[in-house]
Amino acid sequence: MSIYSVLFLFFFLPIALAVYYLADDRIKEYVLLFISLFFYAIGSLEYIVKFLFCLAVNVFIGRSIHAAVNKMTKRLLFVLGVLFNAGVLIYYKYSDFVVENINTVSGTHLPLFQLALPLGISFFTFKSISYLTDIYTQKAVLNDNPVHDALYLSFFPQIQSGPLTRYNDMVFPAELKGQKSASFTLFSDGVFRFLIGFNKKVLLADVLSKITTEIFSSPVESCTASYAWLGSVCYSLQLFFDFAGYSDMAIGLSEMFGYQCMENFHYPYLTESVSGFWRRWHISLSEWFRDYIYIPLGGSRCKNKLLVYRNLFVVWLLTGIWHGASWNFVFWGLGYFVLISFERMTKFPQRFKHRYSRILYRVFTLIFINCQWVIFRSKTLESGFQFLKVMFFNRQNDTTADLRTGVLLKEYSVFLLAAVLFCFPVAKWIEGRLRPRKKLSVVYEALAAVVTLGLFVCAISFIVAGNNNPFAYANF
């Protein structure tokens, strides 16, 4: 069950909210844990027992690390916990990839496992490792109730595609502390945030996916440069609104149940550099790799500067592999390693003295990111290179593909314009300009609420008509 489906919106969510808020304060977390597990069972029934087992193992090891007195015992439990989680992820996500490469290299014909991915396995694994690590390093402040730990690991708004929140960030709801007004404000903010994300996903990402699906499904030899560029740019926009839309919905749902959630996107296409892009895109993942891989390896403080680049290499290799079991994801991750290392060595773009140099580098950055998304979107590394070749070196003059480019631009012009426009903080800019004028600010907020609700109704009609697609990160 997806969080933007009719079943979720009009049945699961209202019932879940009613049951949660009608429950006694002392059992609210138990109720929410049951709701989260029920949500997981609906989405991945075949794996619910295994999920419960992994959940129990992580909570048991986490609590055992916390209770252990001997340092060696703590370390042993921590290592076992990390190996357990990594082993589960490798088995389900990468076993076929390993077997395929063994068969290719050795010429054998070992059978593939062909395992379906459990719901949100990559995100669950990373949250579990952060949970165990924070307990081991004494950064996590555990309460007396292990149900809170289980809820943190299985919280249904975040189980599918994050954000990768930390244990300490999942604070007990304000309502349970008697702060009723704060709880109501958080709930209303959550509803509005959910609607914003829903509209991003359905009205922008899903509409743009029609263009990208058509273009990326077309034979490469029949594509022209204009047709390929349209597909790549639309996919860059689609992926942003898809994932940022999910994050908005997850944050909104978390707030509806009284829990604050970290931001995951901050207008990433406003970036001035490649490294800056990853401080704006999927922020929770970037911070996870920084805190649990990069810094433990030595980070930027290594006396030998070569070790710094080794650390970056490990981080971006793992980032690529985490996104998918395919060589194009490995290449995608290492592409960022090369450019971020280049920026580190050259101090670009900070060292530029002229404004035009910064503008040119920003253009280069956006083109590079766009090309990276082509590799990310392609089924194989070879097909990604072929698509990029058409974008930059195509010389054929196929009027059919060029005419189709024009048709798509005309047909989806409103959606494309809106997608480009809302990549920028337009709403925040307007709010900032109107804030000193209280009456206009109130009018704007009321108008924004009406427009958001109206767009939500339109988005619902799209869902009912079947004009929607699964989340791009749904299988993680």
C-alpha span between 14 and 20 (Å, rounded):
10
Query: Known catalytic residue: 323?
Result: yes
C-alpha span between 237 and 234 (Å, rounded):
5
Closest of 398, 375, 400 to residue 387, by C-alpha: 375
| CB burial of residue 314 (10 Å; 0-12, 13-18, 19+) | middle
C-alpha span between 126 and 398 (Å, rounded):
47
* 111 φ/ψ sector (left φ>0, alpha ψ -120 to 50, else beta): beta
DSSP 394-420: -----HHHHHHHHHHHHHTHHHHHHHH
C-alpha span between 289 and 146 (Å, rounded):
26
Q: Are 268 and 240 in contact (CB under 8 A)?
A: yes
Total count of residues recorded for the chain: 476
Contacts of 313 (CB under 8 A, 6+ apart): 334, 337
C-alpha span between 360 and 386 (Å, rounded):
26
Q: Which of 148, 266, 323, 354 is catalytic?
A: 323
C-alpha span between 422 and 366 (Å, rounded):
16
Phi then psi dihedrals of residue 362, to 5 deg: -65, -40
Closest of 260, 239, 257, 283 to residue 156, by C-alpha: 257
C-alpha span between 284 and 272 (Å, rounded):
20
Peptide bond into 157 cis (omega under 30): no
Q: Which residues are catalytic?
A: 323
